Amino acid sequence: MTPRQNRQRDRAGRGIPEATVARLPVYLRALTGLQDRGVATVSSEELAAAAGVNSAKLRKDLSHLGSYGTRGVGYEVEYLVYQISRELGLTQDWVVAIIGVGNLGRALAGYGGFASRGFRVAGLLDADDSIVGEEIAGMTVEHIDRLEDIIAGHGVSIAVIATPAGAAQGVCDRVVAAGVTSVLNFAPAVLSVPDGVDVRKVDLSIELQILAFHEQRKAGGPDGLASLATGEAPPGTKQYVETVVEA
């Protein structure tokens, strides 16, 4: 059994909810900021405010890790950083391959936050011959034909897919067949994977649409359509009028 599978089994054994797991990186980010400022201890209220959750939820989340803080003192920042990092598997390095080196792939390759959080980008791959061979962030872009060799040679644990939508599923099938069981998907496509493979999807357009929804609500909501003159259809739509004849 791999270390990652052991971690999943241990986490399941302790009954840590997935919602809690999803919040742990947020707590870690807040704690790292406190640590950088030399803060030694933090109350649950202060940490909750920094993480954007309520303090009761934070205390319950951290209790799953066996961390309860000290009454009147709070949590020891350095130790809590270690606890959460260990739970997330960040006390060891994880090897990452980025497939698709367009504008987004290049930005990801140059992101300095990976290394500081335990992720080492070991491969950049693309199908475009005009990109293959380029030096990006100190790495040479390899041809997609070498995908399986890169995965095996570097022990890739996580594949980041930043390809066009049409290529994403085929790339995903290949990385899974090569033994990768964790995929971060930036492509605008829904990926089908077998049981035991984890996929996290990042869709910037969806996030923007959600923000647009909130902006519309702040401006008065979809009821703003009611401000259209009677009989006027919204731009780009056709209006259908039903005639009702009374008997």
Q: What is the pLDDT of residues 61-74, one digit of tens each?
A: 999 998 878 887 89
pLDDT at residue 125 tops 60? yes
Q: Which of 96, 62, 109, 102 is nearest to 82 (CA)?
A: 62
pLDDT at residue number 16: 87
pLDDT at residue number 129: 96
Residue written as token pair 């006390």: 91
Residue 44: C-alpha distances to residues 39, 73, 110 (Å): 14, 10, 35
CA angle 185, 188, 193 (to 5 degrees): 50
Q: Note the pLDDT tens digit of each residue in 127-185.
A: 999 999 999 999 999 999 999 999 999 999 999 999 999 999 999 999 999 999 999 99
Q: Could you give the CA distance from residue 165 to residue 196 in angstroms, rounded to a whole number?
A: 23
Q: Could you give the CA distance from residue 227 to residue 220 in angstroms, rounded to a whole number?
A: 11
Q: Any idea how long the chain is?
A: 247
End-to-end CA distance of the chain: 77
Q: Could you give the CA distance from residue 171 to residue 44 in angstroms, rounded to a whole number?
A: 43
